[in-house]
Amino acid sequence: MAQQTQVARVVARYERWLQRWPTAAALAQAAPAEVLAKWVGLGYKRRALRLREAAAIVVRDGWPRDAAGLRRLPGVGPYTAAAVASFAFGERVAAVDTNVRRVAQRIGAGRRASCCPRAATRTQTRPRWSSARGCAARVRRPARAAPPLPGVRRAAG
């Protein structure tokens, strides 16, 4: 629910959701139309449907106990699976998001960092940065500070 909505705006909705469906079994048995009706205003509808599908799998198979198992649940991506497995199960797995990939790529001097195999290559990101630079050129630029980590390259531009 808080994926693209501020937590403060979600809390009351989350509490009502848990009152209506207090267990994975209750959610798994709910009609998709009812789940969607309760999700209105919380972003992409498919997230609600994937949550319901994941609940059905959990009821049938039990809760996964590692990142690989979490990743097999509908709607759970690599970042979420790694973050949950790391905090909930103590699994030694890195939760790598786009920001971490970018830093690792810069440390690796533009090459794909070994910890982030899905990081975009420089040729894949160059067109996006070129168009972003055009927009940024119209904005007043702040003074440049030293990089936060020794040996870390600055982003081009």
Same domain, yes or no, for 104 and 49?
Answer: no
In a domain, 51, yes or no: yes
In a domain, 20, yes or no: yes
In a domain, 17, yes or no: yes
- Tell me the helix, strand and coil percentages in the chain, rounded to 5: 55, 0, 45
Same domain, yes or no, for 104 and 54?
Answer: no
Q: What is the pLDDT along the chain (157 residues), one digit of tens a residue?
A: 887 788 998 999 999 999 999 999 999 999 999 999 999 988 899 999 999 999 999 999 999 999 999 999 999 999 999 999 999 999 999 998 888 888 888 877 455 545 555 544 555 545 444 444 444 444 455 555 555 556 655 555 4
pLDDT for the residue 99: 87
Going by C-beta distance under 8 Å and a sequence separation of 6 or more, which residues neighbour residue 92?
86
- For residue 130 the two structure tokens come to 């070129």
Going by C-beta distance under 8 Å and a sequence separation of 6 or more, which residues neighbour residue 153?
106, 107, 109, 110, 147
Residue 125: CA count within 13 A, CB half-sphere: 15
pLDDT for the residue 128: 47
pLDDT for the residue 43: 86
Distance of alpha carbon 13 from the chain centroid: 21
- For residue 39 the two structure tokens come to 């999700």
pLDDT for the residue 111: 54
pLDDT for the residue 136: 45
3-state SS record for 83-95: HHHHHHHCCCCCC
C-alpha to C-alpha distance for 17 and 26, rounded to whole angstroms: 11
- For residue 126 the two structure tokens come to 């160059």
Tell me the residue range of the domain where 102 lies. 96-157
CATH number of 53's domain:
1.10.340.30
Same domain, yes or no, for 155 and 106?
Answer: yes
In a domain, 57, yes or no: yes
In a domain, 84, yes or no: no
Q: How many residues does the chain have?
A: 157
Q: 53-72: per-residue pLDDT in tens?
A: 999 999 999 999 999 999 99
pLDDT for the residue 103: 84
The count of structural domains within the chain is 2
